[in-house]
Structures are given as structure tokens and as C-alpha cells.
A = this chain, B = another copy of it.
Amino acid sequence: MSDTKSELTPFFAPRSVAIVGASTTFAKWGAIIFHNILLGGFTGGIYPVNRNQPDIFGLPAYKNLSDIPGPVDLVMIIVPTEKVIEVLNEAGDKGTKAIILITAGYSETGDNGRRLEEETIRVARQRGMRVLGPNCMGIVSMPANLTAWMPSYIPGPGRVSIVSQSGNMGYSIAKSIVKRGLGVARVVSSGNEADLTSVDFINYFRDDPDTDMILSYIEGVEDGSGLLASLRRVSRKKPVIVIKAGSTGAGARASASHTGAMVGSDAVFSAALQSSGVIRAHDIEEMTDCAAALSSQPIPRGNRVGVITLGGGWGVMAADALARQGLDVIPLKSETIDRLNAILPPYWSRSNPVDLVAGLKDGDFKKPLRTLLESDYIDSLMLLGIGYGEMRGRYILDSPYSGNYDMQQIGRLFIRADETTAEAIIGLMDVYKKPIIPVVDQAVMEGESRFKEILREKDILLFASPLRGAVALSALVRYGQYVNRTATS
């Protein structure tokens, strides 16, 4: 295990990278990947290798790896299959230990390809080299500013690492994570996994000081029990969120023709995943919401949720969504109701969800929140109907009538209300160390507002619907249960 770890370091933090098959012809991956490396700002040595051109994007090109002065830690290969073994031997002569084999046309194309793949890996192993790929999209390592991959996209930096058996899914996940307000540490497209596998990278990320959370798209692995053992071990230290694809008959057939992965019984695998502490997501949105909760919220002690809403319908939607996720929308104890009676108007809902639509006696939004957070039988809070203030305020201030009556004053009050709400959430999370899940609508989610900005400065992220908030909170709860169980066992 520790061997593999040191073997992976040159993939993520190479002093220099050579790109064999680098090109200036933008219809070719050799140009697209090389260009991405340049745009990413990699500060180590960058050596294009191309037999026919003296320079590539202004950098001197080399005819062979052996012509490069000094060591080459990482070699990317983007040449046709029939030339790959020759390049591997050159890399071996050069002392390189890490190979990214972008080239396709191996086991994914049938038996001949499979034989060629086996032969290729044999050569690499003989020379003491580890191989990522073949048939992969490459690698991203933001701490090294290394963006050696196919997508036309440089992710924002952060602390989430991704390993994906589909390059496109890895790319889509990275993009979604960044859009959500998180950032990327590493992305690995593992391709055919002829040598290095998802399991190797998940293990590596466990001890990677730049990685706080691991996301993985998995179609199948040869060593299912090895994967599960790794996941159990890694999950104790960092959250792992997995999309296990090919989990229906149709998906499994599609997967077989994609990566040739063996899927096995999904029900069995699914149960095993659950007991391994892994958070399973069914699509990228769900994965991203779970990642947002795990990165921005404390782990709750249990599954009992208090709900506070500024509109009854949203509360009903939240109660349904939370219950469907197995969370307990716990009935309020009489002591809590008594305390709320003192701050809410006579006919408030007297139940969980607490509907504030009737208003607050003294207008202090913090009081009902604090009352629930102080209750030891409530582990987390969901808030709904918040974050509309700026929109409502601007609607009034932008009105053609806004010069009249109290409209300026009320418009500004609405905007200020959002800031108060955001500050209340931050202050209360700090005191009570319990999750507070802020649910807003899509417009607030996608737009810019002071509300969002204030929360974002404290790394508190929003959720776009009661359902998505409930799914994310449920991931937090289940991950907490796993960590507590394994800590005491």
C-alpha cells in the first residue's frame, strides 16, 4: 500500500512532464491536452515530444524522450497504439516511473485490444513504471497547477478529489462541484484501469493532505471485496461519495460495452457500500449536494430534525422529503412549545415544522431557531422560505412607484432582513455546532445576493429544494453514524 502511495506521487506532483504526441493541430488530443497544461500554469518542466515539429506552442519540441535534458517524472502518451511500447521503453531508459496512457484502442475494443493492453502493461511493469489508463482523459492536480487532461476546462482549486472510470463523468463532477462553490484538488480519469485502479487512488487520497473529501464514479471493479475494504478504511478518515453506475440491467449492459467492467449483483454491492460508510449518490446533482453538506456543515449527533419555515407549503414539502430520507421530523416536546408560545403569535402551528408565517412578536428571527437548537432532542435544523429579501427589496426599489410612501424604507428593510438571517445562521452554527440546512429557491441559488455572499464567506452553502436539502442532510447523518460506530468499535 505505502509502495503504491509513493509510486503515485509523480502523477500528482511531478517536477517535469513530457507529452509524447504533443501537437499544434487542434483537432488532436495531443494539442488539446498540451494547451490545457499551458493554460493551467504548471510551473515544472514541460517537454513536448514531436518528431516533426521544432517547437509546440512556443516551447522547444524533442524528437525523443532521450533528447530531453534532465529527468522526466511523468510521461503522457498520446500516440497510436502501435507506437506505445517503443515510447514506454524510451521512458524506462529515461528513468521515468509514471505514465499516463491517453491512447485508446485497447481492451475496450475487444480481444485483440485486450492482448495488446496486457502486453503494454507487462512492458511498463518490467521497467518499474506505473500506468494510468489506457483510454483515459488524463489527470488534474491543482496543488501543482497541473491540468493534463482533455476537457476544455480548468477547475477552481479546492479540497475535493475525484477518481472516475468515465472521463466525461469525472469532468462533469468537477464542473458541478466548482459551480456549487467547492473546489477541486485532484481529478483522475482512470480509463481501462489496466494497471492503476480506482482503489489505488481512493487509498492515496486517504492520506493526501490536500484532499478533504473523495468523489468516485465506479462502473465496476475486478476486486469488489478489495474495493469495499478500502472504502471502509478510507471512510473512517474522510467522506467518500460514490456513484455506482450500471446498477440496472440496462445500465450494466451499457457499462459492459463502455469499460467492460463486471458489475455483479447491485443489491449485494449496494448493501456492502452502505455498511462501508460510503455515501451513495444516484446522479451528479445528488453527489454535489451531499458534498456541499459534508464540506459546509458539522456532523449531527443523530437523525432528529427541527424544521423552521416561512411558509406552510414549504414546511409540508420538507417534512415529506426528510421522512422519505429516513430522518425523524421529531414532534416538539411541551417545554419547547411553551418556550415558542412566548415568542410566536397565539395561533402558530404548535408543531414541527414550525411555521413562522404568522410573524414573530418582537421580530427576532434568531429566537425560534435558538429554541430548537438548544433542545437536546433536536440534532439539526432545516430552514425554508429564507433568502427572498433582496429580491423583494429590489422589486420594490426598482418599481416606478418607489419614490412614494414608505417604499424606499421597506425595500431597504427587506434587503437588510436577508443579511440578518444570514448572520443569525452563522452565529447560531458557531454556538450550537449543529447543522443548519438553508433551503432557498432556484433563483436565489443561481443568482448573486448579499445573503448568499455572507454565508459563502463562512463556507455555508445553500440547497435548492427541500428534497435536495433532505438528501444532503441524510448523507451527513449516515456518515456521522458510521464514524461514531467505527470509532467505538
A residues with a Cβ closer than 8 A to B are: 24-27, 31, 35, 38-39, 57, 104-105, 108-110, 113, 152-153, 164-169, 172, 175-176, 179, 217, 219, 243, 245-251, 253-255, 257-259, 282-285, 307, 310-324, 328-329, 331, 346-347, 349-353, 355, 358, 385, 388, 391-392, 395-396, 399-401, 404-407, 409-411, 441-443, 446, 464-467
Contact = CB atoms under 8 A, between A and B. Distances in A.
B320 A248 contact: yes
A315 B441 CA distance: 30
Contact of A258 (B179, B349, B464): B349
A175 B441 contact: yes
A35 B316 contact: no
Contact of A254 (B24, B57, B351): B351
A316 B446 CA distance: 28
A284 B24 CA distance: 48
Given A27-B410, A167-B311, A446 B443 contact: no
Contact of A319 (B25, B27, B169, B254): B254
A351 B392 CA distance: 52
A152 B395 contact: yes
A317 B283 contact: yes
A151 B283 CA distance: 33
A466 B283 contact: yes
Given A284-B465, A323-B250, A311 B168 contact: yes
Given A284-B465, A351-B257, A26 B407 contact: yes
Given A316-B246, A320-B250, A329-B254, A442 B179 contact: yes
Given A169-B314, A169-B317, A219-B313, 6 more contacts: A24-B404, A168-B385, A217-B313, A248-B320, A254-B320, A258-B313
A176 B441 contact: yes
Contact of A323 (B251, B258, B441): B251
| Most B Cβ at <10 Å: residue of A164, A165, A255 | A255
A317 to B, nearest CB: 6
A135 to B, nearest CB: 10
Contacts of A38: 401
Cβ-closest 4 pairs across A and B: A166-B313, A168-B311, A258-B312, A251-B320
A285 B27 contact: no
Nearest to A346: B109
A341 to B, nearest CB: 14
